[in-house]
Amino acid sequence: MDDDIVLSHVENGIGWLSLNRPNKRNAINFSLASAVQKKMEEFDTDNSVHVIVIQGSGGSFSAGADMTEALGAEKEGDRRFNPSRDAALRIASSEKPTIASIDGPAYGAGALLACGCDLRVITSQTKFRFPGADYGLVVGAAALTTLVGPVIAKELIFTSRVVEAHEALSIGLVNRVVEENELQLVTTELAESIVNASPLATTWAKRVINTAVTGGDAVGIELQSDLILRGGADHIKRFSDATARVTGRSSNQKA
């Protein structure tokens, strides 16, 4: 595994993970996928990390799976070789909030990786494409459907067409579109706003929302979260702090 194929650091509660194969437009090979899974495990078990940001380097998020490596595996008879899927599933399985910060293309496995995140902030240069059908495969159909609904997902999966940035926003594929020079700032501000929230609450909220999307008993899990969180040390402190702030503002306004 290349030591620098994924770069990472933790700052102010944010775990930053950067795909770092700029000469290959961050195409996902076995080494990169393995490194992503390793870093995600480190972030998930690090209590100082409250939100995880995934980004690309060199003006691309990810051009997709490394086709040269995939063809090599095919020739050797390993038809189940799919490291990019494993990386995307590992990101999607994180209990912590995740943000994809995307500049440039997110194609194929790169689009799947982005869809595995909870939130997506992109630049006006970003493009998505789900070309699995062109290769006789299904790539990203499940994740895409949870984001944009079945009708739009079917069109994008069946046709493999490119989705430009502002269409991605209009169909609900992404949360925000910003200019390239604003991407880092907007992503950081969004991540910091999550850091300020209760990690316990965001973890439970993510469980509830994901369960609702997949048709499970989201109401039951939300009730369970209320039983666990309400009256706990985190809730009491945050409620007390919020009350003090409101009371302080009211007093100041009266004065």
Q: What is the pLDDT of residues 114-125, one digit of tens each?
A: 999 999 999 999
Query: Of 99, 89, 51, which Cα lies nearest the Cα of 203?
Result: 51
C-alpha pair distances (Å), 196 with each of 16, 37, 50, 200, 202: 17, 26, 9, 12, 10
Contact between 55 and 122 under an 8 Å Cβ cutoff? The reply is no
Encoding tokens for residue 238?
């945050």
Q: Please, what's the b/e burial string for 97-128 (b: 16 or more CB within 10 A of its CB; e: otherwise)?
A: bbbbbbbbbbbbbbbbbbbbbbbbbbbebbbb
Burial grade of 47 (CB within 10 A; 0-12, 13-18, 19 or more):
exposed
> What are the residue boundaries of the structural domains of the chain, listed by start?
6-195, 199-254
This prediction has a pTM of 0.92
Residue 249: predicted pLDDT: 62
Task: Name the least confident of 67-71, 74-78, 249-253.
Answer: 249-253
Mean pLDDT of all residues in 76-91: 82
Q: Are 218 and 212 in contact (CB under 8 A)?
A: yes
Percent of residues, the chain, with pLDDT higher than 70? 92
Does the domain at 6-195 match CATH 3.90.226.10? Answer given as yes
Handedness of CA 186, 191, 196, 200 (dihedral sign): positive
Instruction: Please give the Cα distance from 117 to 113 (Å, whole number).
Output: 7
Measured CA to CA in angstroms, residue 122 lies from 55, 98, 125, 137, 185 at distances of 10, 14, 8, 26, 12
pLDDT digits (tens, 9 = 90+) for 26-72: 999 999 999 999 999 999 999 999 999 999 998 899 999 998 887 76
pLDDT digits (tens, 9 = 90+) for 128-156: 999 999 999 999 999 999 999 999 999 99
> In the chain, how long is the greatest CA-to-CA distance?
78
